[in-house]
Amino acid sequence: MIRIENLYKSYKGHKVLKGLNIEVHRGEIYGFIGHNGVGKSTTMNILAGLIGFQSGKCIINGRDSSGKGLQNKDIGYLPEDPKFYPYMNAWEYFDFIGRIGGDTGNTIKEKSTDLLERVGLSKAAKRPIGGYSRGMKQRLGLAVAMYHDPHVYLLDEPSSALDPEGRLDMVNIIEELKDHGKTVFLSTHILNDIERICDRVGIIHDGRIVVEERLDSLMAKYVQPVYDIEFAKKPGRNLADNFMKLDYVEKVDTQDNKISVTIKDLEKDSQNLLREIAGLNVFITSINLRRNSLEEIFMKVVK
């Protein structure tokens, strides 16, 4: 659905993209992850056909995005910092873009009522956009991107200006888009939102994709096999020593009434360890397998 091939982009000699390759499949949510200044917005702007590049190719829905080939129906773009005429209110803004798109008053009214409802701006729709918070502008920007019901969405940091509740709403809207068969390419550095909704992620570093993988397999690969075992009361030293004697145990840490056991192989050793724990004659209040967050995985990969 989206294909970026060997893309090179520099700004006055400052090389940003150095052979970027990405393929986003129809109907998936793809998380484009990278540090600030790495070139995410640059990539988005190129995909949207707004800025030029030195070499490579960008194809969206079978059409070259650098030419005049892209249509309203192809992409919906939510820029990182969407700009509006500050004196217009949301209704007026929809009227403006609706008429440019060739819609009549009634159609515009119907579509925008529904969209404003979906992004939670119905109540604010009569107020001038100039008075909106950054989060409200982002939500309005999303509604605008949805106006022509495009196949592909480019969302640049869609949740970065939102409070936790707003972020959750945004995540729900993006999931809804996927349910409607849309393809979503989103960039972010707020990794805990992305963790929940992406099918695949690509990590960009130094102008190229360094890791591209299904989110579930990426998470599985980097699960740190540490079991935190919590006891009703502080366990004796011999308990920790016994764990340490097991040949599949890598490391044992004791803190208050908790013992953390690092095992060598998640799949092979978990069963053995759990059996060992079950055989202990002590009262255990909780056992938890610790997982790395995507944030930690990202830091590891980039380092």
By the criterion CB under 6 A, which residues form the site for ligand ADP? 11, 14, 16, 34, 36-42
Shorter beta-carbon distance to ligand ADP: residue 42 or 89? 42
Q: Rounded to the nearest 5 degrees, what angle is found at the Cα of 201, between the Cα atoms of 195 and 207?
A: 130
Among 22, 15, 14, 103, smallest CA distance to 60 is for 22
- Which range in 5-13, 32-40, 200-208, 229-237 contacts Mg ion by CB under 5 A? 32-40
- 139/190 Cα distance (integer angstroms): 17
Shorter beta-carbon distance to Mg ion: residue 80 or 195? 80
Shorter beta-carbon distance to ligand ADP: residue 17 or 24? 17
CB of 208 to ligand ADP, least distance (A): 13
Residue 242: count of CB within 10 angstroms of its CB: 14
Is residue 260 near Mg ion by the rule CB under 5 A? no
Residue in the structure block whose two tokens are 């009214």: 109
Compose the 71-110 pattern: x for residues touching Mg ion by CB under 5 A, - for all others.
---------x------------------------------
Give 200's strand partners. 30, 214
Among 41, 65, 188, 260, binds Mg ion (CB under 5 A): 41
Locate the DSSP E strands across the chain.
Answer: 2-11, 14-24, 29-33, 55-60, 63-64, 75-78, 152-156, 183-188, 200-205, 208-214, 226-231, 249-255, 258-263, 284-290
CB of 40 to ligand ADP, least distance (A): 3
Shorter beta-carbon distance to ligand ADP: residue 45 or 112? 45
CB of 36 to Mg ion, least distance (A): 7
CB of 189 to ligand ADP, least distance (A): 8
Shorter beta-carbon distance to ligand ADP: residue 41 or 138? 41
CB of 103 to ligand ADP, least distance (A): 32
Strands 29-33 and 226-231: unpaired
CB of 51 to ligand ADP, least distance (A): 8
Do the Cβ atoms of 45 and 17 come closer than 8 Å?
A: no
Residue 36 interacts, among ligand ADP, Mg ion, none and using kind-specific CB cut-offs from 5 to 8 Å, with ligand ADP
Counting Cβ atoms within 10 Å, is residue 256 exposed (0-12), middle (13-18) or buried (19+)? exposed
Handedness of CA 31, 32, 34, 37 (dihedral sign): negative
- 303/299 Cα distance (integer angstroms): 6
Shorter beta-carbon distance to ligand ADP: residue 37 or 279? 37
Shorter beta-carbon distance to Mg ion: residue 50 or 282? 50
Residue 123 interacts, among ligand ADP, Mg ion, none and using kind-specific CB cut-offs from 5 to 8 Å, with none
Which positions lie near Mg ion, rule CB under 5 A? 40-41, 80
